[in-house]
Amino acid sequence: MSFLDASGMTGGYGAADILHGCTLKVEKGQIAVIVGPNGAGKSTAMKAVFGMLRLRGGHVKLDGEDITALSPQERVAKGMGFVPQTHNVFPSMSVEENLEIGAFLRRDDFRPTIDMVYDLFPILRQKRRQPAGELSGGQRQQVAVGRALMTQPKLLMLDEPTAGVSPIVMDELFDRIIEVARTGISILMVEQNARQALEIADMGYVLVQGANRYTDTGAALMADPDVRRTFLGG
């Protein structure tokens, strides 16, 4: 039984379906990466897993429990964390407040986690008092990931966390994601920096037009010349 088991998801925003029986699974402590062309429905699938989209078919199970009917808020309480692709910071609040809000549901002392995030993204320590809306694109992205890390989720979902961040930060980030996974947290992420992402992935999904096209281990997908050419940019 996978930790996250979202099977046969079908649904969309309006009348037309975007997802057509899409299936995503992540094991405990493993990293799953979704790749695919623009508009394939990757973000939509993430939203569906998080309950921000009404599904017409399929189900979502977390740790064996069916959560298909739960609201996003209830899913947060169940230990799911999510960084959306866009609009992923609180622009008028300071960097530090953004992180604090990430820990909103936590009752323990979250100072160490903040320090951990600052160590991960040193620039944020410098900018802790600055409103997130005044940050550069890449800095914002770091805040967004930091916020999600603050929740200390059991399943962390990241929609293109490395879009716009510099190579050095991207390396750091992937590094940290591996570390996080090692502590037993499952990770589901969408990436366009697909080759780097698949290298650290236990599982890879290639999504095309709302359906699974290829599903395999990260390494296997990397090795498939077809996949490389069509989806990973050669």
Interface residue list for ligand ATP (CB under 6 A): 13-14, 18, 36, 38-44, 85, 127, 134-139, 164
| Residue 87: burial class (beta carbons within 10 Å; 0-12, 13-18, 19+) | exposed
Alpha-carbon distances, residue 208 vs 131, 175, 212 (angstroms): 38, 28, 6
For another protein, the binding residues in 40-59 under the rule CB under 8 A are 42-44, 50, 52
Complex with ligand ATP: residue 29 or 138, whichever CB lies closer: 138
Q: Please count the other Cβ atoms lying within 10 Å of the Cβ belonging to residue 133.
A: 11
Here the tokens at position 66 are: 């069916």
Q: How far is the CB of 126 from ligand ATP (least distance, A)?
A: 8
Give min distance, CB of 41 to Mg ion, in A: 8
Q: Which region among 2-10, 61-69, 111-119, 223-231 touches another protein (by CB under 8 A)?
A: 223-231
Residue nearest to ligand ATP (CB): 138
Residue number with the smallest Cβ distance to Mg ion: 43
- Cβ 46 to Mg ion, closest distance in Å? 8
| 105-164 binders of Mg ion (CB under 5 A) | 136-137
Please name every residue paired with 34 in a beta bridge, in sequence order, or none if there are none. 190, 205
d(CA 122, CA 18): 39
* 2 interacts with, out of another protein, ligand ATP, Mg ion, none, CB within 5 to 8 A per kind: none
CB count, 10 Å around CB of 211? 17
Q: Which three-class secondary structure string do you get for 183-217?
A: CCCEEEEECCCHHHHHHHCCEEEEEECCEEEEEEC
Partner whose binding site includes residue 21, from Mg ion, another protein, ligand ATP, none (CB under 5 to 8 Å by kind)? none
Are the C-beta atoms of 127 and 139 separated by less than 8 Å?
yes
Q: Taking CB under 8 A as the criterion, which residues in 91-120 touch another protein?
A: 91-93, 97, 100-102, 104-105
Q: Would you count residue 63 as binding another protein (CB under 8 A)? A: no
Number of residues that bind another protein (CB under 8 A): 73
Q: Is 85 in the site for Mg ion (CB under 5 A)?
A: yes
Nearest to 163 by CA among 194, 122, 206: 194
In the shown chain, the binding pattern of residues 44 to 83 toward Mg ion, with x for contact by CB under 5 A and - for none, equals ----------------------------------------
Q: Which is nearer to ligand ATP, 36 or 81 (CB)?
A: 36
Convert 156-183 to b/e letters by CB count within 10 Å (16 or more is b): bbbbbbbbebeeebbebbbebbeebbee
